[in-house]
Amino acid sequence: MKLISILDHLAAAPATAAPAPRRALLAQLGRAAVAALPLGAALPAAAAPADTSYDAVTQLLQLERTQVALYTQALAATGLIPAAQTADFQRLLAHQTQHAALFLKALQDAGAIVPALPRFDFSGKHGVATNPELFPNVLTNYDAFLALAQQLEDLSVRLYQTQSINISDSQLLRAALRIHAVEAQHSAHIRGLRKGRGAVVQNWPSEEDTAIVRPAAAQALTTAATGGEENGVQYVTPGVPIPFASLLLISTNTAIHDPALAEAFDEPVSSAAAQAALNLFV
Amino acid sequence: MSDTLRPTDSQSPQPVQPLLARIKRRSFFMYAGATAGATALALAGCSKDETTPSSAATNVSFGTGDASVLNYAYALEQLEAAFYAKVAALTTSPLLAAEVPYFAKLATHEAIHRDFLRTAINRDFGGTIIPDLTPKFDSIDFTKRVKAATDTKLGILDAAKAFEDLGVAAYNGAAKLFKGSVYLGIAGQIVSVEARHAAYVRDLITPGSFATNEGTDVLGFDRQLTPTAVFAIAQTFVEQKLDASTIGQ
């Protein structure tokens, strides 16, 4: 599978009914396993994501679809985004649209089941008017919108870190890694916009940031966006830390504790934690 | 501290030991103080009495396998760390007041990446570590925030953008070179921080220029470069000759 040929097709409409050639993605998956998976955007609550290639691609597709929906709705909301920043969010929307199209095409080309496009509700009410509003004013108040956008971009960086490695097709994996870095630029930019409006926040997750306050029922988003980012110990082999933090006597010696140690590394997020956050918006 | 180091020391051939000893001193200066630490780091990077840096004409070869890819990343982090340490040590900075503490943060992040990679390489691939590179920043004008159209040298922000964009493209391109996925994971944890730096610096030069594509690249995908292409750019900033031919082989 040539990456460039996928990219060439990104802007095109989805393929017609003609069956696409089988791709490496499907070869790694096993047809039966894919066919057995249920339709629908969210994985069933009882089944924790198993981090197969199919699960990785569909979860990243849901993430990108969520961001496409948020930026689409935000750009359509009169008076929400200042004129000076309209171009920024148009670029963010264009990028996320490309990313969603890539994963959609990958699934279609593999002959895999494509999850239906969910109906998104960024109030956190799940489309039910009587449900509590978990994310108030995100489409009417610019600061509330930016805070939500930042958390979704932070989640995005971490989920690509987690799921890219689970993608079995090497071309698609490399494409995912290149998206990963773009999501980090998105996050840094939105953090910069918030900083410019007086929020105490840096361009990278830091313990010096002021926490974004959410109701308990929306905590899954904060957990998925930045929970665990304070980690200052890095492993290569599980359970065996690189003798680095102790070498520098940073993490254990509060006298010279330096938040930069945790800032210098972004942390992956578990697919289950990410799914819990994504489920808040469908 | 020495307990942590001892196993690595015992596995490593003789020439590595002075390097490790120097990490401790350098790290202490780097993290224990603020401005003073940054100055000490810059001085340590330039001093010739602690180690024997490769002479300017030396070729630096990177070996093969995952060790070569890690050393490749380590070379780039050395350059970035040396650049930001020099910026942080400026007594008169052309940067705006709000930018100075942020650049100090960048200096710390990159020094952490450099020290982390050095420690990881010495632990997992004892004896393969490349020597300290000698930075060559004569194409950068440290008295300029951004270069004017008529300037031939880069300003600080121009150089920072070049380093960060290069770092992101290098990590993206290196992903396929790792034989095992364990190092891919840790590289992923670093590259996104580099991308955050890139967006920050780009937005300083031109607000809203984060994640834009220059030239031929595809919308929404950051660049990827081969080690050879990366060194073609990085060579400008290093005295030694960098040999990419075996990286990832």
Residues of B in contact with A173 (CB under 8 A): 175
* Sequence-distant contacts of A33-39: CB under 8 A, at least 24 apart: A34/A110, A34/A111, A34/A112, A34/A113, A35/A113, A37/A113, A39/A113, A39/A115, A39/A116
Distance CA(A204)–CA(A156), nearest Å, equals: 13
Q: Evaluate if residue B110 carries a pLDDT over 80.
A: yes
- A112-122 confidence digits (pLDDT tens): 889 999 999 99
Rounded CA gap, B241 and B228, in Å?
12
Which contiguous run of DSSP H or E holds residue A195?
helix A170-196
Q: Is A229 on the interface with B (CB under 8 A)?
A: no
Residues 27-46 of chain A whose Cβ lies under 8 A from any Cβ of chain B: none
* Domain boundaries defined on chain B: 2-243
Distance from chain centroid for Cα A170: 20
**Helices and strands counted in chain B (H then E):** 8, 2
Q: Is the pLDDT of residue A175 over 50?
A: yes
Segment among A25-39, B113-127, B222-236 with least mean pLDDT: A25-39
Is residue A213's pLDDT more than 60? yes
* CA–CA dist A33, A31 (Å, integer): 5
Nearest to A174 among B4, B168, B224 (CB): B224
- What is the value of ipTM here, to two decimals? 0.77
Residue A108: pLDDT band by 50, 70, 90 thresholds? confident
- pLDDT confidence tier of residue B122, bands split at 50, 70 and 90: confident
pLDDT at res. B55: 52
Which chain B residue lies closest to A241 (C-alpha atoms)? Answer: B120
**Chain A residue with the nearest C-alpha to that of B3:** A247
Q: Cα separations (Å) of B210 from A161, A203, B82, B202? A: 20, 12, 24, 6
- Is there a contact between A255 and A248 (Cβ–Cβ < 8 Å)? no
Contacts of B245 (CB under 8 A, 6+ apart): B61, B228
Q: How many interface pairs between A and B have CB atoms less than 8 angstroms apart?
A: 182
Q: Largest Cα–Cα distance in chain B?
A: 55
pLDDT at A174: 86
Would you list the DSSP string of B154-185?
Answer: B-HHHHHHHHHHHHHHHHHHHGGG-SSHHHHH
For residues A168 and A24, the answer to whether their CB atoms sit within 8 Å is yes
Residue A113 contacts residue A106 (beta carbons within 8 Å): no
Tell if the CB–CB gap between B116 and A264 is shorter than 8 Å: yes
Domain regions of chain A by residue span: 48-229+266-281
A95 with B220: Cβ contact below 8 A: yes
Average pLDDT over residues B82-100: 94
Burial category of B4 from C-beta neighbours within 10 Å (exposed 0-12, middle 13-18, buried 19 and up): middle
Q: Which two tokens stand for residue A113?
A: 């089941």
- Compute the nearest-CA separation of A125 from chain B (Å): 31
Start-to-end C-alpha separation, chain A: 33
Q: Domain A48-229+266-281: give its CATH superfamily.
A: Ferritin, core subunit, four-helix bundle (1.20.1260.10)
| pLDDT tens digit sequence for A257-277 | 567 778 888 888 888 899 999
Task: State the Cα–Cα distance between residues B96 and A246, nearest whole angstrom.
Answer: 35
How many other CB atoms sit within 10 Å of the CB of residue B101? 11
| Tens of pLDDT, residues B27-43 | 433 433 333 333 333 33
Give the pLDDT mean for A150-174.
89
The confidence score (pLDDT) of residue B157 equals 96
Note whether A260 contacts B: Cβ–Cβ < 8 A.
Answer: yes
- Sort out which chain B residues have CB atoms less than 8 A from A258's CB and list them: 31, 108
Residues in chain A: 282
The reply to whether B17 touches chain A by the CB within 8 Å rule is no
Per-residue pLDDT tens over the stretch B65-87: 999 999 999 999 999 999 999 99
